[in-house]
Chain A
Amino acid sequence: MNRYRGNVEAVRNLIRETEVHRDVYIDEEVFHLEMEHLFANTWVYVGHDSQVPNPGDYFGTTVGTQPILMVRHTDNTVKVLHNRCPHKGTRITTETCGNTGKFFRCPYHAWTFRTDGTLRQIPLSRGYEKAGLNDSHAANGMNPVRHVHNYRGFVFAKLNDVGPGFEEFFGESLSSFDNMVDRSPAGRLEVAGGVLRYMHNCNWKMLVENQTDTCHPMVAHESSAGTAIKVWENAPPGTKKPMAVEIYAPFMAPYDFFENMGIRVWPNGHGHTGVHHSIHSNYSAIPGYFDKMVAAYGENRAKAILDENRHNTIYFPNLMIKGPIQLIRLFKPIAANKTLVESWTFRLVDAPDLLLERTLMYNRLINAPTSVVGHDDLEVYERAQEGLKVDANQWVNVGRLYDPSEGHDVTAETNGTTEWQMRNQFRAWSKYMTMSM
């Protein structure tokens, strides 16, 4: 069916001021258009450069559904290449990550490529003397992605030539990355601990919306966080509050806690919860950490960095970061009803190990396929994916705290339970979906 392909008007009509049509979640054609347009016209997170510290190091992943890899080139820059051999299409890398040396070598016919993707050598190359290879698609080697930006270690790619530059696309939202990186006394992060991979039978946008949905924790997570609080209340008096309880308990904070924490929206679909405080504000101090921060930055600057406790920052379209606990979640679209969630953790270089230990505990308790918090989230997403089949009402409501004077593509600070950030994402969705149609 071609209800949406080539029909800009139909795509735009999916998004209203306070409602979105169910087809953005359940329609396979819309999904394919997202992959062709939305995930090509925007800057999409690829990986962190600490995953490829040395020349020849590579890491294979996807942008949308496109297989790509990032690699440290011999000139020490990070390149992003399409992960296929120009000859027969064979995926070039065998492992998810590794070191390829000075060049990639296809395992099928031994065509080789430099780590910037250019074609290096073909065995028996005289067989191509009259074949017009230089005018063929194969001449482009592994098709390097032209638009790649490394922001303080975080590598992004934009597959299409249309769409804004990196700085214009992200603008002030980069302050959330800054805060996460600045929390290292050395000003550097390293991917550490291992990635949790969690398969979801729902649309990727349900997860992105959930990151700034502050009216769900005390409802969906009553069973886990509420139980944690009750179990903790039965502990013998004088027991030191465990780190796990510090992590679980704030999910049960009352509505006014979330209203007052604030939400900030930025242009192009970015935004964050936790302008004033967040569920990460009241964790116990890690011994020795503040002193290291003061030594690195001076007391005032160190305090300013650590007083910023942003909750979830959305980098549209499909990345969320948690600066105060050095964790990111990438929502990788697989199909309209299938999403792979990757939760990555970071070490703050030169900070005490206990910080990484807390980061990993948070990830395990909240984001793992074995997480009792994750279980209830996935349950509601999958029920929504199912419920959206209802024909009697084909619209999802995102109208909470809407005001007709609400600006589009602006920077604003507002009540922490607003759905403005979800509306912000859908307005950006509409813009980047139709930009290249």
Chain B
Amino acid sequence: MAAPTNQELIDFVIREARLIDMHRLDEWLDLFTEDGIYWMPLEWGQTDPRLTASLMYEDKMLLTIRIERLKGNRTFSQKPRSRCHHVLQTPQIERRDEANNEYVTWTPMHYVETRNDDQQLYAAWATHTLSVVDGKLKIKLKRVDIVNCDAAFGNIQLFM
């Protein structure tokens, strides 16, 4: 793959959300680079994931644990399973750095997670840092900033 077009970046981000909504989580995980990270900050405008608390800061191993757990027979909080739904605004191209093979998109979104009779709505911005690896776009970092990131939440069990 040569440098991706803006439309290819946009299509990638939209497909990524769709894979989550369709519970195709093994394929979703494959979208991450080997050192890829999923980050959900706890603090407004957070810059440090290490010495400031986050809701999630997970490498591929931790994401694998989540996905494998969802398949288990004794995953009590997922009996019945949650479902989720993303509504994305068209992703904006935040930065194109072809020399360093790094592309950043910014996507406002609404995310719904539901289980039993309960349905929760979250508003967030997703920032994707993407890179071309072996001819395919991959996620180096997906950062999800929830608008009320510091509010008291109940269970958030799937992926925004």
- Chain A interface residues (CB < 8 Å from chain B): 192-201, 220, 222-224, 226-228, 230-232, 235, 242, 244, 248, 340, 345, 353, 356-357, 360, 363-365, 368-370, 372, 374-376, 378-380
In the complex, the chain B residue whose C-beta lies closest to that of A200 is B154
B27 beta carbon closer than 8 Å to chain A: no
A369/B51 in contact, CB under 8 A: no
The answer to whether residues A372 and B69 also contact, given A222-B74, A379-B76 and a CB cut-off of 8 A, is yes
B65/A227 in contact, CB under 8 A: yes
B68/A230 in contact, CB under 8 A: yes
With the chains together, A93 CA to B156 CA distance in Å?
30
With the chains together, A242 CA to B59 CA distance in Å?
11
B110 beta carbon closer than 8 Å to chain A: no
In the complex, the chain B residue whose C-beta lies closest to that of A195 is B53
The answer to whether residues A376 and B51 also contact, given A199-B153, A200-B154, A227-B68 and a CB cut-off of 8 A, is no
The answer to whether residues A364 and B61 also contact, given A372-B69, A375-B77, A378-B155 and a CB cut-off of 8 A, is no
Please name all residues of chain B whose beta carbon is closer than 8 Å to the beta carbon of A370 when the two chains form the complex: 40, 55-56, 156
Among B46-103, those with CB < 8 Å from A are 50-57, 61-62, 64-66, 68-69, 72, 74-78
In the complex, the chain A residue whose C-beta lies closest to that of B157 is A375
User: How many A-B pairs fall under 8 Å by CB?
Assistant: 103
With the chains together, A231 CA to B52 CA distance in Å?
27
A230 to chain B, nearest CB (A): 7
Of B50, B61, B75, B155, which is in contact with the most chain A CB atoms at under 10 Å from its CB? B155
A372/B65 in contact, CB under 8 A: yes
B115 to chain A, nearest CB (A): 10
Please name all residues of chain A whose beta carbon is closer than 8 Å to the beta carbon of B145 when the two chains form the complex: none
In the complex, the chain B residue whose C-beta lies closest to that of A343 is B53
In the complex, the chain A residue whose C-beta lies closest to that of B154 is A199
In the complex, the chain B residue whose C-beta lies closest to that of A332 is B152
B43 beta carbon closer than 8 Å to chain A: yes
Please name all residues of chain A whose beta carbon is closer than 8 Å to the beta carbon of B56 when the two chains form the complex: 364, 368, 370
B8 beta carbon closer than 8 Å to chain A: no
In the complex, the chain B residue whose C-beta lies closest to that of A357 is B50
- Candidates B51, B77, B150; contact of A193 at CB < 8 Å: B51
In the complex, the chain B residue whose C-beta lies closest to that of A375 is B77
Q: Chain B, interface size: which category?
A: 20 to 34
The answer to whether residues A378 and B51 also contact, given A197-B151, A199-B152 and a CB cut-off of 8 A, is no
With the chains together, A379 CA to B69 CA distance in Å?
15
Of B65, B72, B78, B153, which is in contact with the most chain A CB atoms at under 10 Å from its CB? B65
Please name all residues of chain A whose beta carbon is closer than 8 Å to the beta carbon of B72 when the two chains form the complex: 222-223, 226-227
Please name all residues of chain A whose beta carbon is closer than 8 Å to the beta carbon of B74 when the two chains form the complex: 222-223, 226
Query: Does more than half of chain A's interface fall in helix, strand or loop, or is it mixed?
Result: helix
With the chains together, A222 CA to B76 CA distance in Å?
10
Query: 5 new A-B pairs (CB below 8 Å) besides A198-B152, A230-B68, A364-B57?
Result: A196-B42, A226-B74, A357-B51, A364-B54, A372-B66
Please name all residues of chain B whose beta carbon is closer than 8 Å to the beta carbon of A230 when the two chains form the complex: 68
With the chains together, A304 CA to B62 CA distance in Å?
34
Please name all residues of chain A whose beta carbon is closer than 8 Å to the beta carbon of B76 when the two chains form the complex: 220, 223, 376, 379-380
A242/B156 in contact, CB under 8 A: no
Please name all residues of chain A whose beta carbon is closer than 8 Å to the beta carbon of B51 when the two chains form the complex: 192-193, 353, 356-357, 360
B69/A194 in contact, CB under 8 A: no
Please name all residues of chain A whose beta carbon is closer than 8 Å to the beta carbon of B153 when the two chains form the complex: 197-199, 369
A-B contact pairs, 25 of them (CB 8 A): A192-B51, A193-B53, A194-B42, A196-B42, A198-B154, A199-B153, A199-B154, A222-B74, A223-B74, A226-B74, A242-B61, A244-B61, A353-B50, A356-B51, A360-B52, A364-B56, A365-B62, A368-B55, A368-B56, A369-B153, A369-B154, A375-B155, A375-B157, A376-B75, A376-B76
Among B1-31, those with CB < 8 Å from A are none
A163 to chain B, nearest CB (A): 29
B135 to chain A, nearest CB (A): 24
B55/A369 in contact, CB under 8 A: yes
B52 to chain A, nearest CB (A): 6
Please name all residues of chain A whose beta carbon is closer than 8 Å to the beta carbon of B43 when the two chains form the complex: 194
B154/A364 in contact, CB under 8 A: no
With the chains together, A379 CA to B115 CA distance in Å?
12
With the chains together, A194 CA to B47 CA distance in Å?
13
A197/B150 in contact, CB under 8 A: yes
A364/B55 in contact, CB under 8 A: yes
In the complex, the chain B residue whose C-beta lies closest to that of A242 is B61
Please name all residues of chain B whose beta carbon is closer than 8 Å to the beta carbon of A374 when the two chains form the complex: 155
A136 to chain B, nearest CB (A): 37
With the chains together, A375 CA to B78 CA distance in Å?
9
A363/B151 in contact, CB under 8 A: no
Please name all residues of chain A whose beta carbon is closer than 8 Å to the beta carbon of B54 when the two chains form the complex: 360, 364
The interface bits of chain B over 139-157 (1 if a CB of A lies within 8 angstroms of the residue's CB, else 0) are: 0000000000011111111
A228/B65 in contact, CB under 8 A: yes
With the chains together, A152 CA to B58 CA distance in Å?
35
B40 to chain A, nearest CB (A): 7
B50/A231 in contact, CB under 8 A: no
Please name all residues of chain B whose beta carbon is closer than 8 Å to the beta carbon of A376 when the two chains form the complex: 75-77
- Candidates A242, A360, A369; contact of B155 at CB < 8 Å: A369
B77/A235 in contact, CB under 8 A: no
With the chains together, A364 CA to B51 CA distance in Å?
12
B154/A201 in contact, CB under 8 A: yes
The answer to whether residues A340 and B68 also contact, given A235-B61, A370-B55, A376-B75 and a CB cut-off of 8 A, is no
